[in-house]
Structure 1
Amino acid sequence: MTVLDRPPVRASAPVPRTAARARRPRGAGLTPWLFLAPGMILFLAAIIYPMMQAFQMSLYDWKVLKGLSSEFLGFDNYRRAFDDPIFWRALVNSGVYMAITVPIQVVLGLLVAILLNRKAPARALFRVLFYLPVVTSWVVVSLMFKYLFADNGVINWALRDVTGLTDGNISWLGDRWTAMAAISVLGIWKGVGWSMMIFLAALQGVPRDLEESAAVDGAGALARFRAVTLPAIFPALAFVVVMLVIGGFNVFTSVLVMTDGGPAQQTQVLLTYMYQLAFADGEYGYGAAMAVLLTIAVFIISILQLRAFRGRMGSAT
């Protein structure tokens, strides 16, 4: 008997969806939600509720002392922020810090990761040394850099007495832009190790056979990096840039310790200005309004970055 002579096999009737659902254990659909519930509760308690509370505070002249009533102001705190020159100066300073630190941390972190991804003597030791600033206390390293850039600090001593490049001391922390440069140097020194570790993990996932094939085809080191390595680590690059931008707008401890927003409010950034308004001046409602504006700005910037990177990753694939 050939295959054509065989009698046709009747297909079994499909099981109705209602019957399949009837055999499913009762409450099985709730199981995923039970696993998600702790994380969702934590997210609501730690993120959503404080954001809603901050927005509520921003609509009032908020008082924290008992016996004092909070006056409803509506959106007056937001209008006040847009007319506040210190707010705009703090926004510019935060943007300058972000614009300086993010590209340098990305480039240096990637270069160090490429070097330490190769087989070299004491490679593990250098990885630890580059990552060590990441785990040090912000307060400790900020105090260290404050003394380094003081009028009689090591930097001025090296420029004046060792190299002879200057005749006197430079007031690094007494001028707006030199102070922001010193604070940015601290941010770069402390953050390069973090981006290095992310890039290092991504580089170890790059297929070696593709790099070897490109090398056999005559591609140089730069061509292999552009054609093979960069597309492979692009998701890690996108993650690093987005996180560094968010961190750049949230710079706080280094500014507070090194300059405290001075001189004359010249080095205020958004978080230090909010801190001063809330905990030094007692203007909790106005500080909360600035926090809401910062959250909205960072959210919009992050969404735009993710959209741009998503389009780039889609075109690469």
Structure 2
Amino acid sequence: MSIQVTLQPEPGQKSRAGLKLKKGMQQWMKVMPYIFLGVVGTAVFVIYPMIRNIIISFQEYSIMPNAENPFVGFANYVTAFTDPNNKVLMAIRNTFLNVAVTVPINWFLAIVFAVLINLHFVKHKMVFRTVYYLPIITSWIVVAFLFRFLFAGGEYGLINFIFYKQLGIFNEPVNFLSNYWSAMIVIWLFHIWKTVGWGVVIYLAALQGISREYYEAAQIDGANGTKQFWSITVPMLGPVTAFVLINLVNGAFNFFPQVYFITKGGPMDQTQTLPSLMYLQAFKNFNFGYASAVAVMMGIAVFLLTYSQMKKFGNQRFL
């Protein structure tokens, strides 16, 4: 004969569970309006435009009222790669060149400047943070006009004035913005100077979380500053580096103000990037289907590159 005993929860336990559920529901009700606003904002300003852009890329789209906007299949994509002037191919080349040049330099300068400022004998760290971050909050247009003045052609651009008129290093004034490679270098310098401060501030914040014990132990073992930098600082900043690199890559793909305000795509559209080409085709030539096709291709490239970087860093183990 077996006796089954059923344990009933005590009244106090049941009331505590009810209070916990009630408190959780109250918390959800408080944050739900903000979540709803975020979801609506994302749907209206991100998801809908993205879907609409994909649809337009398959149309011969016109902004005129009551236009038919017929579907043309992949014609816009085919046109992008069969353009006799190779504008899309030049824009793709320049875009990936921007990533290959500016991302490593930007990352290296950001982490080196952050480490130098973070040294224990350096005072007034807040002043240095402000100085490095100041270009970030400065208007793109203001900085663009500054660089156009620095690298202006003729004798009275500042660089030409110093190296041609004063020092005599140049045999003649250099028209920086009329040559492909010199114009690209100016664009890269513009981008790096404008954005490197963001990485410096991020790394400065991350360096505060590295214990001094690692460096003290390395000093006891005889490691110099360079060895400590590559063996301790860089590995310890691994997760932050993943975040910084992903954002730097995304920024390098979105080279629009750098091109538009400095060269406007010249000379002869040779410095066009994918964003500037999209703007030119959409709002200058009113070829919205073509521009949307370019946007879709750029979006796929950015997604694949970002996803691969996230997967690569996500599988790594950091100290």
Q: TM-score, normalised by structure 1?
A: 0.88
Equivalent residue letter for 1:97: N
Partner of 1:222: 226
Asked if 1:252 corresponds to 2:251, the answer is no
SS at match of 2:255: coil
* Inter-CA distance 277–219: structure 2 relative to 1 (3 Å threshold): same
Partner of 1:146: 148
Asked whether the equivalents of residues 139 and 254 of structure 1 are also in contact (C-alpha less than 8 Å), the reply is no
Match of 1:298 among 254, 279, 302: 302
Asked if 1:278 corresponds to 2:251, the answer is no
What are the Cα deviations for residues 149-180 of structure 1, in whole angstroms up to 9, with x where unaligned? 11121111122122222111111100111101
* Inter-CA distance 207–77: structure 2 relative to 1 (3 Å threshold): same
Structure 1 unmatched runs, 5+: 1-10
Shift of residue 26, structure 1, vs aligned partner: 11
Match of 1:240 among 226, 244, 247: 244
Asked if 1:262 corresponds to 2:266, the answer is yes
Shift of residue 13, structure 1, vs aligned partner: 4.5
Partner of 1:105: 106
Structure 2 unmatched runs, 5+: none
What are the Cα deviations for residues 240-275 of structure 1, in whole angstroms up to 9, with x where unaligned? 111011100101012111111112111111111111
Asked if 1:64 corresponds to 2:89, the answer is no
Shift of residue 38, structure 1, vs aligned partner: 2.5
Shift of residue 188, structure 1, vs aligned partner: 0.9
Shift of residue 216, structure 1, vs aligned partner: 2.7
Cα distance in structure 2, aligned partners of 1:218 and 1:202: 25
Shift of residue 117, structure 1, vs aligned partner: 0.8
Cα distance in structure 2, aligned partners of 1:203 and 1:36: 33
Shift of residue 229, structure 1, vs aligned partner: 2.0
Cα distance in structure 1, aligned partners of 2:171 and 2:229: 46
Cα distance in structure 1, aligned partners of 2:22 and 2:146: 62
Shift of residue 30, structure 1, vs aligned partner: 9.9
Shift of residue 25, structure 1, vs aligned partner: 4.9
Equivalent residue letter for 1:230: V
Q: TM-score, normalised by structure 2?
A: 0.87
* Inter-CA distance 201–280: structure 2 relative to 1 (3 Å threshold): same
* Inter-CA distance 200–61: structure 2 relative to 1 (3 Å threshold): same
Q: Percent identity?
A: 35
Partner of 1:31: 28
Partner of 2:122: 120
**For structure 1, which segment, 67-76 or 98-107, has the greater mean C-alpha deviation from structure 2 after superposition?**
67-76
* Inter-CA distance 209–88: structure 2 relative to 1 (3 Å threshold): same
Partner of 1:135: 137
Q: Name the count of aligned residue pairs.
A: 303
Cα distance in structure 1, aligned partners of 2:228 and 2:241: 17
What are the Cα deviations for residues 1-58 of structure 1, in whole angstroms up to 9, with x where unaligned? xxxxxxxxxx98496xxx99x9555994993883633222222222111101111111
Partner of 1:42: 41
Cα distance in structure 2, aligned partners of 1:227 and 1:261: 43
CA RMSD after TM alignment: 2.6
